[in-house]
Amino acid sequence: MLTVIPIPWTMTSVIVKPEKERTFVPSDARQKMIESAVTLLALRGLEGTAFSDVIERSGAPRGSIYHHFPDGKDQLVEAALELAGDRALGALDRLHGSPPKAVTKAFFDLWRAVLVRSNVRAGCAVLAVTVASDSQELLDHASSIFRAWRGRIAELYVEGGMAGDAAERLAATLVAASEGAVVVSRAERSLEAFELVAAELLAVTPGPASANTP
Amino acid sequence: MLTVIPIPWTMTSVIVKPEKERTFVPSDARQKMIESAVTLLALRGLEGTAFSDVIERSGAPRGSIYHHFPDGKDQLVEAALELAGDRALGALDRLHGSPPKAVTKAFFDLWRAVLVRSNVRAGCAVLAVTVASDSQELLDHASSIFRAWRGRIAELYVEGGMAGDAAERLAATLVAASEGAVVVSRAERSLEAFELVAAELLAVTPGPASANTP
């Protein structure tokens, strides 16, 4: 079945093929480009994430990237940072009511999944941008994500019974240690360092490791 | 006073000016280029460390960089990684006989100095290379440095009375957490996150914080 969908930005419409035939759909092209940018930033860093690489990886037609990101690469990188930041926040939002140790475990689980899926080659897009950009806008965005992560984790720790000061210290340490552990493990192409760090942080986080139950 | 020094690689000699007049001395040109590369990697990342930038920063004549690094940029980056790795190992070597907490404190002191001297703009050259290179040689070199750092720290912890397993976990965590804390602080252009992480790691490291005494 073919569906005709009006596309507001062109004031025309396109014919959307059913799932099996679909190769490119304008409505999710932007999202695919952003997802590709997150992956490339995590794998190759900021300079390894050119428009041409994103086009190749996302399968989007060349013209569409200039349509969706008319201000250039930094605009795409901003969107990629936002997606990377929101993914972790979304995972943290599912942890309300969990004991602190379960929060620590869940955050390491997120990063372990990134390492395992990529054969220990990918890391954090936000970190990759921070160490390779001198754009104040991109650094501000990276900063707001790191602050949001550690703020949200500290809230969860406090909900789980920790004092505010201790929660802030441990939350900053969880973000820093997991970021650093991912980099060390990528260099070493091994999860060994990552697992040592995860074990240490779990040991110093109070509470049982079980997830929240209704 | 002018001194004539023979230069083996050119089979000629150059006149070396006394300290005040000296602008460029072949014997330390290579070292200056390597030091400049470490600084640029720490400030701008791998792609921001071009030969032209290193020449500009080190004040070396253009031709000399091709003389000293005939295999190209990766050869210079290798040398920069080695210097960055050795600097931290040299600092760790002065800590034999110190209690574990003093080792943790000293490692954070090293990184705090990097942040403070650079107005919270510089970080770790080894991390910068890891997240932006797919050269197996460079990753192997980065890996050997991270392993050397955490191995040396674990040795110091064991010397200071910790059990081997606990020492390995805490050493991996110290390297990862300080690396991550430096990145987060750079993004935030503030030492706040760094100091929270340092306080947390100091709190979980056993022993008094005083340095070793004879």
3-class SS at A13?
Answer: strand
User: Would you tell me which residues 25-54 of chain A have a C-beta closer than 8 angstroms to some C-beta of chain B?
Assistant: 44-48
> Nearest CA to B140 among A187, A174, A171, A124?
A187
Euclidean distance between CA atoms B10 and B6, whole angstroms? 9
Name beta bridge partners: B3: B16
- A58 part of contact set with chain B, CB < 8 Å: no
Residues of B in contact with A128 (CB under 8 A): 131-132
Q: Which residues of chain A have pLDDT under 50?
A: 1-22, 24-25, 212-214
* pLDDT value at residue B81: 98
The reported pLDDT for the residue numbered B27 is 57
Looking at residue A211, its pLDDT comes to 56
Which residues 88-147 of chain B have a CB within 8 Å of chain A? 123, 126-128, 130-134, 139, 142-143, 146-147
Report the C-alpha gap between B131 and B150 in whole angstroms. Answer: 19
pLDDT of residue A18: 46
Please check whether residue B172 is in contact with residue A196, taking contact to mean a CB–CB distance below 8 angstroms.
Answer: yes
Could you tell me the domains of chain A? Answer: 10-204 (1.10.357.10)
Taking an 8 Å cut-off on Cβ atoms, the answer to whether B132 and A169 are in contact is no
The whole-angstrom separation of Cα B166 and Cα B104 is: 14
Return the pLDDT at A98.
96
Checking if the pLDDT of B163 tops 90, the result is yes
To the nearest whole percent, how much of chain B has pLDDT over 90?
79
What pLDDT, on the 0 to 100 scale, is given for residue A19?
44
| H helices present in chain B, as ranges | 26-44, 51-58, 62-68, 73-93, 100-117, 125-130, 136-159, 164-188, 192-204
A16: β partners: A3
Q: What residues of A are in contact with residue B169 (Cβ under 8 Å)?
A: 196-197, 199-200, 203
- Select from B123, B126, B172 the Cβ nearest to the Cβ of A196: B172
Q: How far is A173 from chain B (nearest CA, A)?
A: 5
Question: Who among A45, A150, A170 is closest to B45 (CB)?
Answer: A45
* Of residues A205, A115, A5, the one with CA closest to residue B204: A205
pLDDT at B140: 97
The strand pair at B12-16 and B3-7 is best described as antiparallel
Reported as half-sphere exposure (CB side, CA atoms, 13 A), residue B46 has a value of 26
Question: In angstroms, what separates the C-alpha of B22 from chain A's closest C-alpha?
Answer: 33
Q: Do the chains contact at B123 and A131, CB–CB below 8 Å? A: yes
pLDDT at B20: 44
Give the closest of A139, A176, A183 to B193, CB-based.
A176
Task: Tell me, yes or no, if B200 comes closer than 8 A to chain A by beta carbon.
Answer: yes
pLDDT tens digits, one per residue of B102-157: 999 999 999 999 999 999 999 999 999 999 998 999 999 999 999 999 999 999 99
ipTM of the complex: 0.85
**Could you tell me if B81 and B88 are in contact, meaning their C-beta atoms sit under 8 angstroms apart?**
no
Q: Residue A85: CB partners within 8 Å, gap ≥ 6?
A: A126, A144, A145, A148, A149
- What is the signed CA dihedral for A193, A196, A197, A200, rounded to 10 degrees? -170
**Identity at A101, one-letter amino acid code:** K
Give the CA distances from residue A141 to residues A130, B102, B185, B211, in Å, rounded to whole numbers and listed in that order.
Answer: 9, 35, 13, 39
Are the C-beta atoms of residues A49 and A77 closer than 8 Å to each other?
Answer: yes
Residue B18 pLDDT more than 60? no
Q: Say which residue, B192 or A9, is predicted with more confidence.
A: B192
Residue B211: the pLDDT is: 56
